[in-house]
Structure 1
Amino acid sequence: MELLDTLIVGAGISGLSLAHALDKGATTASPLKILVAESQGRVGGNITTATGEGFLWEEGPNSFSPTPELMKLAVDVGLKQELIFADRQLPRYVYWQNKLQPVPMTPGAMVKSQLLSFRGKLRALFGALGFVAPAMGAQLSQQGDRETVSQFFARHLGTEVMQRLVEPFVSGVYAGDPQQLSAAAAFGRVTKMADVGGGLVAGALLSARNKPKKMPADPNVPKTQPGELGSFKGGLNALPQAIAAQLTDRLKLNWHLTRIDRTERDTYIAVFSTPDGQQEVEARTVVLTTPAYVTAELLEPLEPSVSSALQAFTYPTVACVVLAYPLSDVKGKLVGFGNLIPRGQGIRTLGTIWTSSLFGGRAPAGWQTLTSYIGGATDSGIGDLDSEQIVREVHRDLSRILLKPEAAQPKVLAVNVWKRAIPQYNLGYFDRLQQIDRGLKSLPGLYLCSNYVGGVALGDCVRRGFERASSVSEYLQNQQSKF
């Protein structure tokens, strides 16, 4: 049995980014022996691009923020000419009291906004300047002195900002419950600003002043602007496909990991169920990029404490519903990124991306594509509905918000029900991470790299893959003398 340097379990964007970074960082004199094993018959994980009848759509993530790591990765794998970006000036909307209200993106827009009352604006201003009551009380003590997202933003910026701006954002990013999400875990940068400056404005200024200088920009990487959203001409799946193409035979599909054992010489034996029968692989390091619930099952025999912490992560059900309508059925011309819906507005859908308005060429002439998300931590009942029922729910919501009264039934492009969609960064998050880190000390050479740690966005996944590659490389170099 050949001894691998690194076995990567999972070919989502985290695992593929990690593999690419290890591959590129290795010297030609001693290239690393890497294997990426994926249980599905395709790469990309939650990234799911589809086409049909002249439409192109996404059934998982819809776009990315152009972080430095993600942009560099795209260029490295030959996708520079495939990059596309939505106009960052496009407005975002919140549906509040039967009307689409643009999200205020500047102080001037906040003053003019009808989304908040005068009193709500004044409350937000004073809170941002630091006139904030301290976090205290019996409930906070019961929570380990950690605030929820709802508690933090209501305390700092007021209930209106919390309900009308933060809550729909939480639904859009995490499909989460702001009364359960940990503010420090889900909004780490914002809570740190409050801690540093006493108020959000002062904290932002101090953070900007103390921000380390940026490394010189890579001239080969296209420059982007804050607020832009990116994709590729052929959809997000272009990125995992390009990385996979470079891995060639070092990528195995339909390989399902059933067991991991540790050997006496500090390596790991991984047992896979494959189309060709059972396969065993020995590796000096193993990186599990699988979801928390899968990783928990794999690690239970090796380190029960890690398994227990991983089992505490919850993943709510979310349905991605992609519907197309003739432009004649849509109220006016949709110009913007899309709309989010706070709870309590009589709308079940969490939010809708105006897909064919965001990126050109994704719908035939005369059609509008709308990608809606429904379910999440505040609506577990969505998992009990079949596809037709889910479409009816979304169509009814769209009819209230975006469609004309006489709009016909939509062309249904996709209904993808993600039974376990997005890991929730709920209260107790940091305690779970500490328990995981303590337990992993007894398993040197075994690493975790998934979106239940350090952010759920695509850019977070790529950055995490790069960072984990550095840790793996350092470990391999230190252990070189043993082999």
Structure 2
Amino acid sequence: MEVLDTLIVGAGISGLSLAHALGKEATSASPLKILVAESQGRVGGNITTVTAGGFLWEEGPNSFSPTPELMKLAVDVGLKQELIFADRKLPRFVYWQNKLQPVPMTPPAMIQSQLLSFPGKLRALFGALGFVGPAMGAGLSQQGDEETVSQFFRRHLGTEVMQRLVEPFVSGVYAGDPQQLSAAAAFGRVTKMADVGGGLMAGALLSARKRPKKMPADPNVPTTRPGELGSFKQGLKALPEAIAAQLGDRMKLNWHLTRLQRTERETYIAVFSTPDGHQQVEARTVVLTTPAYVTADLLQPLQPEVSSALQAFTYPTVACVVLAYPQSDIKGKLVGFGNLIPRGQGIRTLGTIWTSSLFADRAPAGWQTLSSYIGGATDSEIGNLDSEEIVREVHRDLSRILLKPDVPQPKVLAVNVWKRAIPQYNLGHFDRLKQIDRGLKSLPGVYLCSNYVGGVALGDCVRRGFERAPEVREYLQNKQSDTRSI
């Protein structure tokens, strides 16, 4: 049996980014033997792009922030001409007290905004300047002196900012519960600013001064500006498919990992269930990019401590509902990214992306596509509803927010219920990661690379893959040196 250098389990964007980075690091004199194994019949993980009847929509992530690593990856795999970007000046909205209110993105907009009251604005200003009380209370000590997102932002910016801006953002990114999410884990940059400067405004200024100078821009990578969101002409699936095409026969689909065991040679044997029967692979390093609950089962026989920490991650159910309406059914022309809804507004839907307003050519002329998300950590009952019931819930919410009265039923493009959608960075997150790192020391050559560590956005996934590649490469080089010295 040929021994692989690296086996990557999972062909989501994390695993594919890692495979691409390892391939680029390898030289022609010492190419790495890599295999990427995916249990599904397609690549991309949660990225799910669908086209039908002149519509193009996403049933997982809808867009990406153009981080340097993601942009470089897109160019490397030949997608430079396929990149598209939404107008960064398009407003975002929050539905508050029966009205769509634009999210204030600048200090002058904050002053003029009707989303916050005058006392609420003053409270936020004083908090941002550093007039903030210490984190304290009996509850905090029971939490290991770790603040929740709700506690942190209420303390720093007040209840209104927390309820009307932060809470809907948390729903949009994590589908999470701000009373359970760890502020330091979910909003690491913001909490570090507060630690550095004593207040968010001072911390932001000090952090900007300490930030290392940017490397010279790669002239081959398109320049982007803050606030832009990107995609590809044929949808997000273009990126994982392009990476997989470069991998060629090093990419295996419908390969389900059933067992992982360590050998006396300090390698690992992986047993897969495949369309051609059981397949066995031996590798010097194994990178698991699978969700925490899958990884927990795989590592239980090898490292119970790691498995136990992984089992503690929760993944709420979220349904992605893509509905199309004739433009004449919409109250007015939709110009913007979409809207988020704070809890307590009598609306069950977490938020809606105005898909065909965001990117061109996503719907036939005269139609508007709306991608809504419902469920999450604060609405676990959504998993008990069938598709028709979920559509009724979303349509009723849209009728209150965006549609004219008595609009007929929409064209239903998709109802994709993600039973385990997004890992929650809840209280105790860093303790779980420490437990994982401690346990992995007894499994040299095994690495984890998934979105329950270091961010859930697509850019985070690409960066994580790029950062893991040199660690794997260094381990392999050290093992090779050890072998030669024997």
TM-score range (shorter-chain normalised) is: over 0.9
Distance 2:404 2:470 in 1: 54
1:123-272 matches, cutoff 5 A: 123-272=123-272
Match for residue 282 of structure 2?
282
Match for residue 354 of structure 1?
354
Tell me the CA shift for residue 338 of structure 1: 0.1
Distance 1:416 1:468 in 2: 31
Match for residue 35 of structure 2?
35
The gaps in structure 1 that reach 5 residues or longer are none
Tell me the CA shift for residue 285 of structure 1: 0.2
1:463-482 matches, cutoff 5 A: 463-481=463-481, 482=483
2:247 is matched by which residue type in structure 1?
A: L
1:363-442 matches, cutoff 5 A: 363-442=363-442
* Helix, strand or coil at the partner of 1:151: helix
Deviations 1:93-129 (A, max 9, x none): 0000000000000000000000000000000000000
Match for residue 111 of structure 1?
111
Match for residue 87 of structure 2?
87
Tell me the CA shift for residue 265 of structure 1: 1.3
Distance 2:250 2:132 in 1: 55
Tell me the CA shift for residue 406 of structure 1: 2.6
**Matched pairs, number:** 483
> Normalising by the residue count of structure 2, what TM-score does the alignment of the two structures yield?
0.99
Distance 1:355 1:137 in 2: 44
Tell me the CA shift for residue 9 of structure 1: 0.1
* Helix, strand or coil at the partner of 2:310: helix
Distance 2:445 2:410 in 1: 51
1:326 is matched by which residue type in structure 2?
A: P
Tell me the CA shift for residue 228 of structure 1: 0.2
Tell me the CA shift for residue 307 of structure 1: 0.1
1:15-54 matches, cutoff 5 A: 15-54=15-54
Distance 1:80 1:274 in 2: 35
2:174 is matched by which residue type in structure 1?
A: Y
Deviations 1:181-209 (A, max 9, x none): 00000000000000000000000000000
Distance 2:115 2:373 in 1: 22
Distance 1:399 1:278 in 2: 51
Distance 1:196 1:137 in 2: 22
Tell me the CA shift for residue 236 of structure 1: 0.1
Verify the 8 A CA contact 1:329 1:406 in the aligned structure 2.
Answer: no
Verify the 8 A CA contact 1:352 1:371 in the aligned structure 2.
Answer: yes
Verify the 8 A CA contact 1:130 1:199 in the aligned structure 2.
Answer: yes
Distance 1:423 1:351 in 2: 18
Match for residue 71 of structure 1?
71
Match for residue 327 of structure 1?
327
1:308-319 matches, cutoff 5 A: 308-319=308-319
Deviations 1:258-283 (A, max 9, x none): 01000111100000001111110000
Distance 1:223 1:115 in 2: 33
Distance 2:480 2:321 in 1: 50
Match for residue 3 of structure 1?
3
Tell me the CA shift for residue 29 of structure 1: 1.0
1:460 is matched by which residue type in structure 2?
A: D
2:267 is matched by which residue type in structure 1?
A: T
Tell me the CA shift for residue 137 of structure 1: 1.3
Give yes or no for the alignment of 1:59 onto 2:95.
Answer: no
1:71 is matched by which residue type in structure 2?
A: M
Deviations 1:413-451 (A, max 9, x none): 000000000000000000000000000000000000000
After superposing on structure 2, the runs of 4+ consecutive aligned residues of structure 1 that deviate more than 6 Å are none
Verify the 8 A CA contact 1:17 1:465 in the aligned structure 2.
Answer: yes
Distance 2:262 2:317 in 1: 34
Tell me the CA shift for residue 470 of structure 1: 1.0
Query: How much is the aligned-residue C-alpha RMSD, in angstroms?
Result: 0.5
2:376 is matched by which residue type in structure 1?
A: G
Tell me the CA shift for residue 30 of structure 1: 1.3
Distance 2:301 2:478 in 1: 27
2:96 is matched by which residue type in structure 1?
A: W
Verify the 8 A CA contact 1:171 1:350 in the aligned structure 2.
Answer: yes
> Normalising by the residue count of structure 1, what TM-score does the alignment of the two structures yield?
1.00
Verify the 8 A CA contact 1:423 1:452 in the aligned structure 2.
Answer: yes
Distance 1:219 1:365 in 2: 36
Verify the 8 A CA contact 1:316 1:421 in the aligned structure 2.
Answer: yes
Deviations 1:238-261 (A, max 9, x none): 000000000000000000000100
Distance 2:52 2:273 in 1: 33
Distance 1:478 1:450 in 2: 25
* Helix, strand or coil at the partner of 2:85: strand
The gaps in structure 2 that reach 5 residues or longer are none
Match for residue 455 of structure 2?
455
Distance 1:446 1:145 in 2: 32
